[in-house]
Amino acid sequence: MGGCLSSHQSAPLNHSKSKLISKRGDMPRSVYESEATSEWGDLKDSYTRRSVKKKPVGIAHRERAETRQDAPSAVISDRQKTEWDLEIILEALGKHFVFKGLRKDLHQAIVFHMKYYDLDPGEIIFEQNNPGNNFFVVESGDLEVIINGNQVKVLHAGDSFGELALLHDSPRSATVKTITKVGLWGLTRHTFRKALEKINATYYEENKNFVNTVPLFHILTAKQKEVLVFALSSFKFSSGENIVNEGDPGDLLYIIKEGTVICTQKGAEIRRMGRGEYFGEQALLYGSARTATITADENVTCIAIGREKLIKVLGNHLHQIIYKNSQKIAIEKSKTLSQLTSEQANSLIAAMEINTYEAGTRVIQRGAAKGAQLIIILKGKLKYSDTIIEKFNCLGDEEITNESAETYEYDILADADTDCAFITKEKFQICIGGRYEHATANNEALQVMKKIQLLRGLSNDQLQALSHALLVQEYSDGFEIVKQNSPGDSFFIVRSGKVEVYQDGQMIRAIKKLDYFGERSLLFDKNRTATVISKGQSSCWILRKSDFLNIIDEALRTRLLKRIFLQDDKIEIEELVPVKVLGRGMFGNVILTAHRAKGSLYALKAVSRKKIEEYQLQSMVMLERNILMEIDHNFILKLVRTFKDNKRLYFLFEYVRGLDLFDVLRELGLVNEEDSLFYTSCLLCILEHLHERDIIYRDLKPENVMIDDEGYPKLIDFGTAKIVSGRTYTILGTPHYMAPEIIIGKGYGIAVDYWSLGIMLFEFICGCLPFGNDEDEPYAIYEKILARKIQFPGYLNKKSAVRTVIEQLLSKNPAMRLGGSIENLKRNEWFCTVDWERLLSKLLPTPYVPHLPELDKEIEKAMKNPKSLESVLNSLGEDEDIVPAKKGNVQESEAWDNAF
């Protein structure tokens, strides 16, 4: 779905050497090993930025209810496979990248599902340029491969063809026709994908369950466990084989998946372990020597993870991650500390020191002030007189927050080997921003402000500043807080009690604790539209307009006003005047429109109901709407509202005036490191916003990023996005930007978007794509992605931070790309100079501002002689290209579009 939502003027491309040299000269010296003359040739040769925009693949199943059948004249049967059949099928599978990365159990499942195709001489298997559906292995006979009417190859027994159709139904590159009587083993895409999905989903769930059985991992969050599953490796051991040897160094934790093992110490058996049990946790945590020999009693399969990989995927040593998670749990359990914001809590956790105590050791001396320090028990337990304090609990939390002068009457002892986190009162107050009562006074109001549409463009620092400017006012029953038609100069959040809203003397709604009213008075000089009266005793936080304007500058106020206009969901389609066509797509046409009264501009995408029904796009359209309604970010295209009538469904978007990043890159030539950092940081913020909402974008590339009239990026076109909480298996995206796990069908999550980001960063810096830059055929591109041989230009310093980031993002293992979390990635040294708050507020200078033509005359002309939207859409012939398709089994209720 999606279409062009912008207007731009393409400028001539400039690939001259002088421009490249000037661009290179702008790049920080850290990127380059030297300024040797010989490297200028390397630079020139590497600069082959592609000139043609790439389209996504894998959406044809959305375009057609049913794919054209291959070998339509064949007699298809479930013939039993002979030893010869199995041999030639398995040999054929081993030749192609589609199968090379698959486990043997998947090969066996694929072979099992293959059917036998019997054909006579002169029959067509499939034709060039038609969509494909089958992969075939030749069992007997001869076939010819024909391209543009010419025979280019003859296929014999043992050969195979059509493997790309197993990924998606791209047009066939050749015609294949039988020469003699032929027998084929065939596999359809649907069968292949379902077999892959079923086995991989089972394998994934098993590994996830195994991770959950290890107490060591219980403290990890769901997302951390998900990353861990991706990082597991599988090992097989024969009966009698030693898995680990007593006394040897080790750093692997093993979980037994199948079989049993014998544990011995100094040759004596101490126990046996089976499925679901594990060994080696001390080696994983500390790299300590093995304390026992573990021998396979029978054939054994284990899944394992090593300490080095654990650090890469989770970002730190496991015990430190466990301790951070434990601190969070303890803070959330505490009555007082749970009132801290996430920023305050994270600052506190980062500042705490961890100490270790042996059982019986004194931790706190009798007579020490309870409020002098905060203690969190991370491991083990403490004893205070006859009271046992277990892990995940705090000591001194109430006293440090109310600044109590009480002292401990007894020594506090470690009742077992114990680890505790400590922080002094002074450091505690620095971390949370002052004395507890002051630092948390307006935290509830701060959380409310973060959710208010009008304030979403503000940074955390600005919101914090606004929270400090809040005043508290108490009201008695019946007090008139604001009066209808009076000037508005304050915004209110209900702190306690309840207030009622009246219009023209009639009560229209009640506002309870942590709800708000009057927010638009912060920006607009308008009279109140209603009277608000206290119902019983109540209190409110109040933000005065004068304080608000002192905190935000004029540029930010202008952006907030623009954002408010975009939130006007009361616009009706009849109020829109078509100005011009912005884009035409397979499923939707996009029209630039102007509001009759306000003159504000919007992009209106219209989707024909006939196409929705013919191509069964109902779920796709609803998914796109649901995703867009979830999103509100400065760097993402804003959906204002949706409409419907009996002919079409409509999406009303903000109008992004700019140039897409694909064209901007051709204007910039090679992008220097500083500008690459800017664009990459913006894209990282976008992905963070999406992934927090479990949205995978799946087609991140320059063509889908607009550079607006301020020079900031704006992500558009959510037709390939999906809400996923675990894994998904659909092959979707643009080949050059697709992650390996999408191609091989193992199932994937949000990490695929970071792979695409890595491709874009390489493209910024190096001027070309890392895999298959000169290839157009998806098969060739996929082969190079799976080979994953990154060749950096010679001028790029091997030790440069940007190169390290690229290599991390383009890790074949999805678990490695983030280094544990988005926060860890943002802490990479390459991002150390980024002011994330100012970036999100669009307060940083931009590398490039598009030169755009004025629209005033076109708008004025459209307003003077308004055309009907219906006539403009009809003139585009939106339903002329519909090709009738046989309906599949998808059934949609008549009310599927109720949300529009």
- Known catalytic residues are 699
Stated as kind and residue range, the H or E segment containing 799 is: none
Instruction: Report whether 326 contacts 391 (CB < 8 A).
Output: yes
Nearest to 846 by CA among 737, 708, 662: 708
Instruction: Report whether 461 contacts 837 (CB < 8 A).
Output: yes
Nearest to 217 by CA among 378, 309, 325: 325
Stated as kind and residue range, the H or E segment containing 547 is: helix 545-551
Instruction: Report whether 394 contacts 374 (CB < 8 A).
Output: yes
The owner of tokens 């797509």 is 585
605 is in an annotated binding site: yes
Helices within 94-167 (DSSP H only): 97-100, 104-113
Phi and psi at 175, nearest 5°, equal -95, 140
CA distance between the termini of the chain = 16
Contacts 24+ apart (CB under 8 A), 340-349: 340/432, 340/439, 340/440, 340/443, 341/443, 341/446, 341/447, 343/460, 344/431, 344/432, 344/433, 344/439, 344/440, 344/443, 347/431, 347/432, 348/423, 348/428, 348/431, 348/432, 349/324, 349/421
d(CA 402, CA 604): 56
CA 549 to chain centre: 35
DSSP letter string, 171-191: BPSSEEEESS-EEEEEEEHHH
Q: Which two tokens stand for residue 380?
A: 């083990």
d(CA 606, CA 662): 25
**CA–CA distances in Å: residue 494 to residues 518, 528, 541, 621:** 11, 17, 6, 39
DSSP letter string, 48-60: ----SPPPPBS-H
**Amino acid (one-letter) located at 363:** V
Binding residues for ATP: 605
